[in-house]
Amino acid sequence: MGAPRLNQPTSPVRGTGIEPGRLLAAVDASVTYYRAQLEHADGPRAYLAERGLGVLVHREWPWRVGYAPPGWSSLTGHLRAAGFTAEELVGAGLATRTRGEPDRLVDVFRDRIVFPVRTPVGHAVAFLGRAGPGAADGMPKYINTPETAIYQKRRLLFGVAEQQDRLNDRWTPVLVEGPADVLAVWLSYSRSRRAGAVALAPCGTMLTDDQAAILPALPGAGRGIVAAFDADPAGRGAVDRAWQLLRQQRLPGPLLTAEFTAGADPADLLRRPNGRAQLRAALQRRARPMLDTVVDHRFARLVQRHPRLLEDIDGRSAAVRLLVPLLYEATSPAEAIRVARRIVAHTGTGVDTVAIAAIAHLEDALPDLRLPTGVAASSAVTTSLRPPRG
């Protein structure tokens, strides 16, 4: 018998019209079932141990990581026997119907390590499922519970409920890519520490406006908000997006970036010798201003697209014009001056070139604003950009 053809729901939101308590109960029962399956799953247990997350196999709380077995309807059969209806399982995002046999249900998660997603008050409402170690080529690395009446992924950050103690103690919020990174940061700090970093992740999607609004409201945001994404093109894009969304918020502290070597992320760093100490240092002591990172990313993309851009003065001037709008995203004059000096260093131009480009950009953006022009204006900006003598 071949694989069933899955039927997509016609309603945009699953579970609408079903008692929310029944949906929550179905998800909670799934957490317990998946947790029990992990006890007998040698491959997933070995994978977690290899990633430095083996403690999660033996310590159930607070994360309750589990394993969805490979059968087409293992969870569905278990929950139907426990009294849940087909409508409740589909409505909770745990199962889907097949096209040829609409009365037949198929599990959404199969052969995946599953991480429960909770609301801030602790209700499990969804799962993030990581492909098992023996997954076939082409299978998505992560899948996410579909949107339901109790789960809107754009509004939740993974790890909030499980780390309320650290959040309440004003630990520094760190934005990471996925659940393995959240857990790596969590394991890098012992319970006895009075201060540290607490990692949170979007739920299987890019950072959204709603998620960005959560971070500045956290008790530790006054210490800064740190973005700690992979050192690859997707990770660089995630940092740039985080900057654009977070800078629009009323921020109580600085925006920072943790730097990792190419191909690394917090979960990878955890496995290295003395990895926990290295991860703590990367997240706190060595974090740098996020706008500096955004400038570096934009410059790197320019050079990648135009390898000969800096070979002549016209190309260097063009690079300055493309980078100089970032001056106006600075949150203080000191930060704007630091960004300008960074542009000078990247492009090999003089501060006069950056100052004149900055004035031209402002005149273009605000055509009705009368600004002093010519040498006097550029000289004033140039003077502020020059490093102090002595």
- Is residue 338 a part of any domain in this protein? yes
Point out the domain boundary residue: 111, 126, 151.
151
Sequence-ordered list of residues with C-beta below 8 angstroms from that of 232, at least 6 positions apart, any chain: 262, 263
Question: Final residue of a domain: which of 129, 151, 173?
Answer: 151
How far is the C-alpha of 37 from the C-alpha of 7, rounded, in Å?
27
pLDDT bin (cut points 50, 70, 90) of residue 261 is: confident
- Do 326 and 359 sit in the same domain of this protein? yes
Yes or no: say if 214 and 173 are a contact pair by the CB < 8 Å rule: no
Residue 9 domain-assigned? no
Host H or E run for residue 288: strand 288-289
Read off the amino acid at residue 308: R
382 or 250, greater pLDDT? 250
149-164 pLDDT, tens digit per residue, is 999 999 999 999 999 9
**Cβ pair 218, 300 in contact under 8 A:** no
Burial profile 119-135: b = 16 or more Cβ within 10 angstroms, e = fewer: beeebbbbbbbbbbbee
How far apart CA 103 and CA 85 sit, in angstroms, is 11
Give the domain range for residue 111.
Answer: 14-151
In a domain? residue 260: yes
Instruction: Say if 266 falls within a structural domain.
Output: yes
| pLDDT at 268 (0 to 100) | 86
Mean pLDDT of 190-206: 88
Angle at which helix 233-246 crosses helix 290-305, to 10 degrees, equals: 130
Tell me if residue 385 falls in helix, strand or coil.
helix
Residue 88 has pLDDT above 70, yes or no: yes
Q: Same structural domain for residues 104 and 184?
A: no
- Contact by Cβ (8 Å): 114, 67: yes
pLDDT value of residue 370: 55
118/266: higher pLDDT: 118
| The last residue of a domain, from among 83, 117, 151 | 151
> Same domain for 77 and 165?
no
Domain check: are 311 and 378 in the same one?
yes
* DSSP run (H or E) holding 336: helix 333-347
CA-to-CA distance for 240 and 258, rounded, in angstroms?
Answer: 13
* CATH number for position 51: 3.90.980.10
Cα 13 to Cα 120, 260, 312, distances in angstroms: 21, 38, 56
Give the three-class secondary structure for 220: helix
CATH number of the domain residue 240 falls in: 3.40.1360.10
Cβ neighbourhood burial of 160 (10 Å; 0-12, 13-18, 19+): buried
Determine the Cα–Cα distance for residues 390 and 381; give it in Å rounded to an integer: 20
373 CB neighbour count, 10 Å cutoff: 12
Whole-angstrom distance, CA of residue 29 vs CA of residue 47: 24
Q: State yes or no: pLDDT of 390 exceeds 50.
A: no
Q: What's residue 77's pLDDT?
A: 97
Same domain? For 147 and 166 the reply is no
Whether residue 263 has pLDDT greater than 80? no
How far apart (Å, rounded) are the C-alpha atoms in residues 231 and 27? 34
pLDDT tier for residue 375 given thresholds of 50, 70 and 90: very low
Handedness of CA 53, 59, 60, 66 (dihedral sign): positive
Per-range mean pLDDT, top range of 269-278, 287-296, 365-374 = 287-296
How far is CA 247 from its chain centroid?
16
pLDDT of residue 11: 55
Looking at the structure, tell me whether residues 187 and 219 fall in a common domain. yes
High-pLDDT (> 70) share of the chain, %: 91
pLDDT of 388 strictly over 70 = no
Identify the helix (H) or strand (E) that includes residue 295: helix 290-305
Q: And the tokens for 330?
A: 């600075």
Convert 306-335 to b/e letters by CB count within 10 Å (16 or more is b): eeebbeeeeebbbbbbbbbebbeebeeeeb
Q: How confident is the model at residue 305 (pLDDT cuts 50, 70, 90)?
A: very high
Residues 174, 143 within the same domain? no
The pLDDT assigned to 28 comes to 98
Q: Are both 56 and 125 inside the same structural domain?
A: yes
| 3-state DSSP assignment of residue 193 | coil
* 248 falls within a domain: yes
In this prediction, residues 305-322 reach a mean pLDDT of 96
CA distances from 186 to 31, 44, 163, 176 (A): 20, 20, 8, 12
Q: Residue 62: is the preceding peptide bond cis (ω within 30°)?
A: yes
Average pLDDT over residues 332-345: 95
Q: Are residues 248 and 190 in the same domain?
A: yes
Residue 297 lies in a domain: no
Residues 72 and 91 in one domain: yes
For residue 83, is pLDDT > 90? yes
- On whether residue 5 sits in a domain, the answer given is no
Among 126, 156, 131, which residue's Cα sits nearest to residue 141?
131
Residue in the structure block whose two tokens are 């050192």: 231
In a domain, 1, yes or no: no
Q: Looking at the structure, do residues 147 and 267 belong to the same domain, yes or no?
A: no
pLDDT digits (tens, 9 = 90+) for 202-247: 997 799 999 999 999 999 999 999 999 988 888 999 999 999 999 9
Tell me: do 20 and 55 sit in the same domain.
yes
How many structural domains does the chain have? 3
Residue pLDDT, tens place only, 114-167: 999 999 999 999 999 999 887 877 889 999 999 999 999 999 999 999 999 999
- Is residue 64 over pLDDT 60? yes
User: What's the whole-number mean pLDDT along residues 89-115?
Assistant: 92
Check whether 38 has a pLDDT greater than 80: yes
In this structure, of 57-66, 128-137, 153-162, 295-304, the range with the lowest mean pLDDT score is 128-137
Residue 296: CA count within 13 A, CB half-sphere: 13
Q: Residues 165-191: pLDDT tens digits? A: 999 999 999 999 999 999 999 999 987
Q: What is the pLDDT of residue 156?
A: 97
Which pLDDT score is estimated for 118?
Answer: 98
| Average pLDDT for the chain | 90
pLDDT of residue 269: 87
Is the separation of the CB atoms in 195 and 221 below 8 Å?
no
H or E segment to which residue 379 belongs: helix 375-385
Query: Taking a C-beta distance cutoff of 8 angstroms, is the pair 132, 111 a contact?
Result: yes
46-60, 133-147, 335-349: least confidently modelled range: 133-147
pLDDT at res. 380: 46
